[in-house]
Amino acid sequence: MGSWFRMVAAAVAAFAVGGIAQAQSPFPSKPVHIFVPYAAGGAVDILARTLGDVVSRQWNQSVVIENRPGAGGVLASQALAASAPDGYTLIVVASGHPTNAFLYAKLPYDTFKDFTPISLLASSPNILLVKADSPFRTVADVIAQARAKPGSLSFGHAGNGTSTHLAGELLKNLARIDLNAIPYKGGLPAINDLLGGQIPMSFNNGPESVGQIAAGTVRALAVTTASRTPFLPDVPAMAETVPGYDTEVWWGLLGPAGMPPDLVAKLSHDFVAALNTDAVKERLSKLGASPIGSSPQQFDAKIHSDYEKWGPIIKAAGMKAE
């Protein structure tokens, strides 16, 4: 019996030591999964994969991108909120993350309490696009037509409450015109219908637009930021025609609530380092996006700021998720 007890004791000790060793293994010691709340090929997907390639080499560990589209990012965010706070499951969200609270009657998570901000990664202006052969050559042309025939014009956008939807609503509000908002399941389907002539114009983010602009299939009438953007220096800012107009789309990295501060700091540091590599800067520039790489605290402040900014506008417009 004595030898049996010694064998059991040795096995327990080995298990305990192995558990401690595993717990103390440097992060990451296994693949890291990053949820993308939208379909492959869009801006969030491109950004996540670009950064994933760089940090995987930094870590010498796989980074797995999981596309989980649906409900404006709610489904992927819900899955993240239910994940272990160990850094092995993250999400890249877009600027619709804080506004979903106003679009859905009830979210399956708390926008603030159930997530850990890691870094505000990058931003891009949205762009008002028309087909290359469109009679509209300026924003003033669009406004004139909308005032001459109220309700005759429509614009496509990536879905109710998305940054591209809000961009159109802001134009309606500040220019005091009537436009019909046509929701799509992402920006690329909106561009497809724009090219097909089903809609006269569309608001899209930079990464979705630059290829079509370069190919000459669409014309950019304006960028939605307060000033012109370096990657489209000849395209006017919307504010040049509509004073006070300013909006953008941003993307940020979140983890589930309860992550250890030292782990959050490491993830923020490593992703900011990736953003600052020449490869990522060049890729983002070609996509019409600018790297940011904020601290966790700055990203948290941005989420709260957008929640306060857009809530009243969404409520006034009566926007609801489909």
pLDDT at 133: 97
Give the pLDDT band (50/70/90) at residue 14. very low
Q: Is the pLDDT of residue 48 over 90?
A: yes
DSSP assignment of 218-235, as one string? EEEEEESSSS--TTSTTS
Give the pLDDT band (50/70/90) at residue 6. low
How far is residue 322's CA from residue 161's CA, in Å, rounded to a whole number? 10
pLDDT at 20: 43
Q: Which residues contact 10 (CB under 8 A, 6 or more apart)?
A: none
Domain boundary among 217, 240, 263: 240
Q: Is the pLDDT of residue 11 over 70?
A: no
Q: Is the pLDDT of residue 7 over 80?
A: no
Give the pLDDT band (50/70/90) at residue 322. low
How far is residue 6's CA from residue 51's CA, in Å, rounded to a whole number? 50
Tell me the pTM: 0.79
Judge contact between 164 and 274, C-beta under 8 A.
Answer: no
Strand order in 63-67's β-sheet?
A: 63-67, 32-36, 89-94, 249-256, 115-124, 290-291
β 249-256/115-124 pair status:
antiparallel
In the block, which residue shows the tokens 């993240």? 80
Domain boundary among 199, 218, 240: 240
Distance of CA 279 to the CA centre of its chain: 20
Judge contact between 109 and 98, C-beta under 8 A.
Answer: no
Q: Which residues pair with 169 in a beta bridge?
A: none
pLDDT at 288: 81
Extract long-range pairs of 54-62: CB within 8 Å, 24+ residues apart. Answer: 54/274, 54/277, 54/279, 54/280, 55/270, 55/271, 55/274, 58/270, 58/273, 58/274, 59/28, 59/32, 59/270, 61/28, 61/29, 61/30, 61/31, 61/32, 62/31, 62/32
Query: What one-letter code names the amino acid at 208?
Result: E
Judge contact between 124 and 222, C-beta under 8 A.
Answer: no
290 with 312, same domain: the answer is yes
pLDDT one-digit tens code per residue, 93-145:
999 899 999 999 899 999 999 999 999 999 989 999 999 999 999 999 999 99
pLDDT at 128: 98
pLDDT at 8: 44
Which among 128, 130, 126, 127 is positioned nearest to 197, based on CA atoms?
130
Q: Is the pLDDT of residue 15 over 50?
A: no
What is the mean pLDDT of the segment spanning 232-255? 95
182 with 255, same domain: the answer is no
More confident residue, 41 or 221: 221
- Domain range enclosing 42: 32-124+249-317
111 with 187, same domain: the answer is no
136 with 120, same domain: the answer is no
How far is residue 246's CA from residue 39's CA, in Å, rounded to a whole number? 27
Judge contact between 78 and 257, C-beta under 8 A.
Answer: no
**Rounded percentage of the chain residues whose pLDDT exceeds 90:** 71
130 with 186, same domain: the answer is yes
b/e 78-98 (16+ beta carbons within 10 angstroms → b) = bbbbebeebbbbbbbbbbbbb
135 with 228, same domain: the answer is yes
Judge contact between 35 and 91, C-beta under 8 A.
Answer: yes
134 with 233, same domain: the answer is yes
Q: Is the pLDDT of residue 167 over 60?
A: yes
pLDDT one-digit tens code per residue, 50-81:
999 999 999 999 999 999 988 888 999 999 99
DSSP assignment of 136-158, as one string? --SHHHHHHHHHHSTT--EEEES
Which phi and psi (to 5°) does residue 126 adopt?
-85, 165
DSSP assignment of 166-184, as one string? HHHHHHHHHHT---EEEE-
120 with 137, same domain: the answer is no
**Rounded percentage of the chain residues whose pLDDT exceeds 70:** 92
DSSP annotation of 82: T
The whole-chain average pLDDT of the chain stands at: 90
Look up the CATH number of the domain holding residue 177. Answer: 3.40.190.10
Domain boundary among 190, 220, 240: 240
More confident residue, 299 or 8: 299
Q: Is the pLDDT of residue 21 over 70?
A: no
Asked, as a colleague might, if the bond just before 28 is cis with ω within 30 of 0, I would say: yes
pLDDT at 13: 47
Which phi and psi (to 5°) does residue 143 adopt?
-65, -40
Overall number of domains in the chain: 2
